[in-house]
Structure 1
Amino acid sequence: MLPGARNALTVETMPALKISHVGWDAPETRPRMANDVDARPGLALTNRSILRNGEPWIPVTGEMHYSRQPRERWADALRLMKAGGINVVATYIFWIHHQPEEHGTPSFEGNLDLAAFVQLCEEIGLEVILRLGPWCHGEVRNGGHPDWVVNADYTERTNDPRYLDAVRTWFGQIGREVAGLCGSDGPVIGIQLENEIYDQPDHILALKDLARESGLFAPLWTATAWGSADIPVGEVFPLYGGYSDGFWVDTNQGWDESFQAHFTFSHQWDDPGIGKDLAGESWTGVVGAKHPDFPAATCELGGGMAKAYHRRPAPTARDIAAVALCKLGSGSTWQGYYMYVGGTNPRKGLQESHATGYPNDLPELNYDFGAPIGAHLQIRDSFHRLRNQHSFLEAFGSRLAAMNATIPENDDDGGLRWSLRSDGASGFVFINNHRPHEPLPARTGVQFEIGLDDQSVLFPHRPVDLPAGEFLSWPVQLEVAGVVVRWATLNVLTVLEAAGEPPVLVLTANDGVDAHLAVPAAYAVEGHPSVPVGGERVLEDLRPGFFTLTSERGGRLRVLVLSASQALEAWTPTVSGRRRLVLSSAPVVERDGGLAVYAHQPGTVAVFPPTGEADDDGFSRDPFTVSSEAHEVTITRTAPASAPPARPVTVPGRASAPSPDDFAAHAARYTISVSGQAKAGERSLLRLELVGDTASSLFEGREEDVFWDGSVWDIDITPAQDTDRRVVEVAVFPLAADTPVWLPADADRIRASLVEPAAQITGACVLTFEATQLSGFA
């Protein structure tokens, strides 16, 4: 044996983390919803999960607001959502966007064409949840109520007959647009009533009646249940949420424990912190219990976070994906993200603000939310990490949805955070070793002993170390095509069918974690060495590539291992009814019966099963080019900043954003010239690096704004006509060392280093995106 080599036959003896599968605590039952009432063929509901064609199903919902996106980009946004593993689109219907004037006819044209949006979702293969309101929140002024509703002599958000009359008219107008899409073969499968209302169940029932009068109905009627809300469970399906951080706590409050809770595995689904600062006297602080007649489900897992002036959280991709994984490990049967696609308010003055009675000042226009898909369809790192989880759910969600969650009692007692979801015969171990702000330590010598109904599985065969910041889901007794993987220290991504070949199970590694896998001792293994260990055959230290497993009964399964970096480039589109694995750094979407990439630079996609001649690794490769020319960016400061006045704290603990007059008086002014050919309508972004407090831009009459948090700022400079020169005017309001706002750590360090107020643009580049259809897909 070479010096330092590990003896594969030696099992280290050290305490393993033990847990035994615990079955469901109540028999499976079916509520009236989606079964006896509003039944739809192929969709049903139990107290354990939603059923699709009789099989448990975990929907993956992403929020996109049609009124905050240009209509011409809806299709691309929806294709990207589908590519990210979203199968249901949720959208608010903001009354104030459609009908700002009481006696004006509501507009459903252009970016407000709700029916066209829902129909487009259906065409692209996505179902829809209408978040009907009429009070929505969504960081919109009045929660989405038009001013004339707020100023009327009735009490809004109650059963005041005059308020209900106004809502009846509004719902009737929505019904005339989309009621025909709510039938048994339509794309609308859910309707949310109101939002964050805590103590008026009768009002929710009244809204449901009004929706039905208007022809609006769906098998799933939902309501937000956080904050121990008193909602009419049974008439509505209670949904929950979880954010890694939020703007709604005070500037100096620190990382609130309501956010911390989402990085653990727990049977607690209520988060009383969401919307706490708007709840007023209705907020109790009491944590509500999940209702036993309905499964654990979410509609607002934080896909990012909006920026208020006083507090500007910037959750990382790991923050966002770790929360999502913790919910899956805790028993979630519905993953819903808010937001999944960012956007821009349709006009100024529609944001919540101190001036309109809110405790938070939001940007007038910017609603990017740091979402997986940005306001201008930028793809963020969180998109990739979530996509890996969603690919797993697409392939194995029916199994996972049928599995109860068993969580160690000492999960958050300084030990490893983990859980088991199992049906007693097989399962998945979920592990989270990531936490922002207060990082968790690396873990050494990790090993599990999992008790199933008829056996115990000890794995891995020797303890492994888990770096800080990692989160994982490992299979136990996973059966695919008659072949059993006893365990693996790899994440499950998907299963592929290859013509004339055994199916392929795709697994992904984590950086810094030893990748091992075991099968029953009698199995044959081709393509990687294996050793017998304790009645199992173990494959150690797996690297990217294929190997084949053959059971004692002749079942065959190919296994493909991807590295952690490959996993973040792994797309699993379906073309002609067949799921593919595509490795690409550029987004890959289903389009025109095939696949296309949205890229700003040339690249190559690797495809399995191959579409042409395969390389030695089994993948075919398809290069693509982009025709975009290089662009020269020139930045000219046309006016310097001047020292700003002290920011007023008009709400306790929360400063107000600069007034328009202050901004005009003190902001630095820049003219940015972009030279180089640009085509009309071809998505193009000016990416700025800057240091400042707030900033605004103007291009071809389109305004944008941002509250700086240390991130780059992308400005849409897509031209209306072909041009070879574009000019963007940018103003940056200065940031001072004592500006009373909460900033992420890196930005906070920059602020602390300032000796005088800063309003600087420090870098700029242009990204232009082209859609290129890939060959070889029919």
Structure 2
Amino acid sequence: HLERLRALAREVGLEAPLYTCTAWGGAAVPAEGFLPMHAAYPFTPWEPDPSFEPVPSREFLFRSPQQPAADWWQAGAFRYPIERYPYAYCELGAGIQMTYLHRPLVPPECTQALAVVALGSGCNWLGYYMYHGGSNPPGRRGFLNEFTVPRLSYDFQAPLGEYGQLHASYHRLRLIHLFLAEFGDRLAPLPVVLPPGASTLKPQVTNVLRYAARAHQDQGFLFLSVYQDHAETADLEGIALEVLLPQERLRLPHEGSLRLLRGMSAILPVGLELGDGLRLRYATAQPLTVLHARERRCVVFFAPDGLQPEFALARQGCRALTVQGGSSAEEGETLYAWPLPGLGTRLEATGLSGRGVELLVLSQEQALRCWKVRLAGTEYLLLTESEGAAWVDAGEERLTVCWQGEAQLDLLSYPRLPSSLPATGLLEDRGTAGVFWRYRLQCPPWKARWSLEQPEPQVVRLRLAAEALEGVRDLFLRVDCVADVGQAFLDGHLVADYFGSDLPWIIGLKRFAQPGRELELILRFTPLQANAPVLRYFTRERLPLPASDGTLPVTVRAVQLVPEYGIELPWQE
């Protein structure tokens, strides 16, 4: 069947460099010409039983196709010669679509842990479903949605939402994508090394550290995870890792122990070559990216929440080590550093040529707001300081910065931005913040040009002035409500819908605005039934008392319009 489909595609000119096929669940894989792909979904809301109780999935246990166990995944999980193909995922569940019967929330820690465990298990291809949510178009004679999901909305709790908004999982994955962009070529050839007993570990057992390595000789990466879906987890105390290398034995940390917070996952380097003859024996911090400059190299790390960073550099090849924002010591053939994560922390290691390498160590919160861009031949690390979502992009002729919330945004840069950017007048130089430089972006504040009415308890009418989107890139309607289903109508047509949950209903209004015309959006809600099984997905404190008709009254707790600002800064090489 697959071979015939490929032949039909080629007959009409659909030639592709790769053809892929489903390989999970024991699916048949053609002998030649297809790349087998896998999937991982910890949440399964498509179950038809409204009382279905999910169990902890096996997706957060490290395993290896090169070292298959009898119960590795399912009986007959691999029906193809695994040594011939890279281990690839096309459907890591980076979110999940809510159904009418099941409305689970996917925490961002889950998305991050899925990717970390997949990489630690030998995956060299991360593919997601969905990475960007969307909206189904209405059909000519009905709706095109799948059974039990909203008619239009397919937000999927994806890293990028239905209207392009950045969810928390997007930033979690960006940490991994930055790592892979810089270190992926080192990781890809490395085989998996599993600790003793890894194949017998059960997902219900959460008081044991899950870990694996991908390594060859004395170089590689350690993968740690303390996340498990549908199970109680706790912080792990008193953890020490021992790494046996051909010529030495490493203990992480050198003295004492590590504390790993529940829900965390991390990638730690072992034997990482930093350049200029410098070698990092290990670090209890995660590599983020590398800034390549004309004169020197800067390697950026971050400390996963709760993890005390410790750096151990080989004395051979390192002429000197200075630590700004922490302490250091020398013992035998190793230089140790204990930096305090933050904007003012920098390690400088002088290598064989005398040029050396810089190391920055951020907190995880700071890393989640970092962006790497290239301007005028130099790479920069930009950090956005905003309570709302923010993003940065660099093109051939301009630097674009967008954010939600207040009309001003502080932007931190390392190293200092080219002088031509502040000279545009759009960027105000605010001095230093540790080793970073602070700049301020300011837009004219968006003025509310909208009105809101609630003519009935289950109906909300939003009127937006014709010029309401002037000066902003978009407006996001954020509705905090307790209801079963929400539907939004424009000119009598359904344009957006929502299945009630603890998540707010968010609608991007730019999509529906027409120049010179006032926008009137009607929101209609249906109440939850007091005995509905789906109530278990709601926080009990949010639910109103039942009415006499057996329903829970629709409760609109808050309605907000959140502007998205944007500034484009021109620059030249």
Alignment TM-score, normalising by the size of structure 2 = 0.85
The answer to whether the Cα contact below 8 Å between 1:732 and 1:759 also exists between their aligned partners in 2 is yes
After superposition, residues 114-125 of structure 1 pair within 5 angstroms as none
Which residue identity is paired with 1:607? S
Q: 1:514 aligns with which of 308, 320, 328?
A: 308
In structure 2, what is the equivalent of residue 262 of structure 1? 59
After superposition, residues 591-630 of structure 1 pair within 5 angstroms as 591-600=395-404, 601=406, 602-612=408-418, 615=432, 617-630=434-447
Whole-Å separation in 1 of the counterparts to 2:432 and 2:50: 55
Could you say what secondary structure the match of 2:552 adopts?
A: coil
**1:300 has 2:94 as partner:** no
Structure 1 stretches of 5 or more lacking a match? 1-202, 271-283, 354-359, 641-667
Root mean square deviation of aligned Cα: 2.6
After superposition, residues 171-190 of structure 1 pair within 5 angstroms as none
Which residue identity is paired with 2:461? T
After superposition, residues 26-41 of structure 1 pair within 5 angstroms as none
In structure 1, what is the equivalent of residue 480 of structure 2? 689
In structure 2, what is the equivalent of residue 217 of structure 1? 15
Deviation (angstroms), 1:591: 3.4
Question: Aligned in 2, Cα 1:611/1:371: closer, same or farther, shift over 3 Å?
Answer: same
Deviation (angstroms), 1:543: 2.9
Could you say what secondary structure the match of 1:263 adopts?
A: coil
Deviation (angstroms), 1:234: 2.4
The answer to whether the Cα contact below 8 Å between 1:312 and 1:743 also exists between their aligned partners in 2 is no
Deviation (angstroms), 1:322: 0.9
Q: 2:322 aligns with which of 522, 526, 537?
A: 526
The answer to whether the Cα contact below 8 Å between 1:367 and 1:375 also exists between their aligned partners in 2 is yes
Which residue identity is paired with 2:157? G
> Comparing both chains, which one has the higher relative contact order based on Cα–Cα distances under 8 Å and sequence gaps of 6 or more?
1
Deviation (angstroms), 1:450: 1.3
The answer to whether the Cα contact below 8 Å between 2:397 and 2:571 also exists between their aligned partners in 1 is no
Deviation (angstroms), 1:776: 5.2
Deviation (angstroms), 1:373: 0.8
The answer to whether the Cα contact below 8 Å between 2:399 and 2:571 also exists between their aligned partners in 1 is no
Question: Aligned in 2, Cα 1:632/1:550: closer, same or farther, shift over 3 Å?
Answer: same
The answer to whether the Cα contact below 8 Å between 1:312 and 1:742 also exists between their aligned partners in 2 is no
Whole-Å separation in 1 of the counterparts to 2:65 and 2:447: 52
The answer to whether the Cα contact below 8 Å between 1:520 and 1:537 also exists between their aligned partners in 2 is yes
Deviation (angstroms), 1:550: 2.2
Which residue identity is paired with 1:226? W
Q: 2:273 aligns with which of 479, 487, 494?
A: 479
Which residue identity is paired with 1:303? A
**1:382 has 2:177 as partner:** no
In structure 2, what is the equivalent of residue 547 of structure 1? 347
Deviations 1:240-291 (A, max 9, x none): 111231222233222244xx21112112699xxxxxxxxxxxxx97533562
Q: 2:148 aligns with which of 352, 358, 361?
A: 361
In structure 1, what is the equivalent of residue 288 of structure 2? 493
After superposition, residues 575-654 of structure 1 pair within 5 angstroms as 575=375, 578-584=378-384, 585=386, 586-600=390-404, 601=406, 602-612=408-418, 615=432, 617-631=434-448, 634-640=451-457
Deviation (angstroms), 1:552: 5.8
**1:338 has 2:129 as partner:** yes
Percent identity of paired positions between Structure 1 and Structure 2: 28
Could you say what secondary structure the match of 1:741 adopts?
A: helix
The answer to whether the Cα contact below 8 Å between 1:365 and 1:704 also exists between their aligned partners in 2 is yes
In structure 2, what is the equivalent of residue 564 of structure 1? 364
**1:446 has 2:239 as partner:** yes
The answer to whether the Cα contact below 8 Å between 2:460 and 2:524 also exists between their aligned partners in 1 is yes
**1:763 has 2:561 as partner:** no
Whole-Å separation in 1 of the counterparts to 2:171 and 2:391: 10
**1:243 has 2:41 as partner:** yes
In structure 2, what is the equivalent of residue 709 of structure 1? 501
Question: Aligned in 2, Cα 1:398/1:223: closer, same or farther, shift over 3 Å?
Answer: same
Segment of structure 1 superposing worse, 562-571 or 671-680 = 671-680
Structure 2 stretches of 5 or more lacking a match? 69-73, 420-430
Question: Aligned in 2, Cα 1:574/1:233: closer, same or farther, shift over 3 Å?
Answer: farther
Deviations 1:35-64 (A, max 9, x none): xxxxxxxxxxxxxxxxxxxxxxxxxxxxxx
The answer to whether the Cα contact below 8 Å between 1:599 and 1:771 also exists between their aligned partners in 2 is yes
Segment of structure 1 superposing worse, 696-705 or 682-691 = 696-705
Which residue identity is paired with 1:670? V
**1:732 has 2:488 as partner:** no
Deviation (angstroms), 1:531: 1.2
In structure 2, what is the equivalent of residue 461 of structure 1? 254
**Greater fraction strand:** 2
The answer to whether the Cα contact below 8 Å between 1:497 and 1:504 also exists between their aligned partners in 2 is yes
Could you say what secondary structure the match of 1:396 adopts?
A: helix
Whole-Å separation in 2 of the counterparts to 1:398 and 1:577: 23
Whole-Å separation in 1 of the counterparts to 2:250 and 2:355: 22
The answer to whether the Cα contact below 8 Å between 1:612 and 1:620 also exists between their aligned partners in 2 is no
Deviations 1:459-510 (A, max 9, x none): 211211111121111111100212111111101001112232x200100012
The answer to whether the Cα contact below 8 Å between 1:244 and 1:320 also exists between their aligned partners in 2 is no
The answer to whether the Cα contact below 8 Å between 1:630 and 1:676 also exists between their aligned partners in 2 is no
**1:253 has 2:52 as partner:** yes
**Greater fraction helix:** 1
The answer to whether the Cα contact below 8 Å between 2:60 and 2:113 also exists between their aligned partners in 1 is yes
Task: Work out the number of aligned pairs and report it.
Answer: 526
After superposition, residues 69-84 of structure 1 pair within 5 angstroms as none
Which residue identity is paired with 1:328? L
Deviation (angstroms), 1:673: 3.5
Deviation (angstroms), 1:699: 3.3
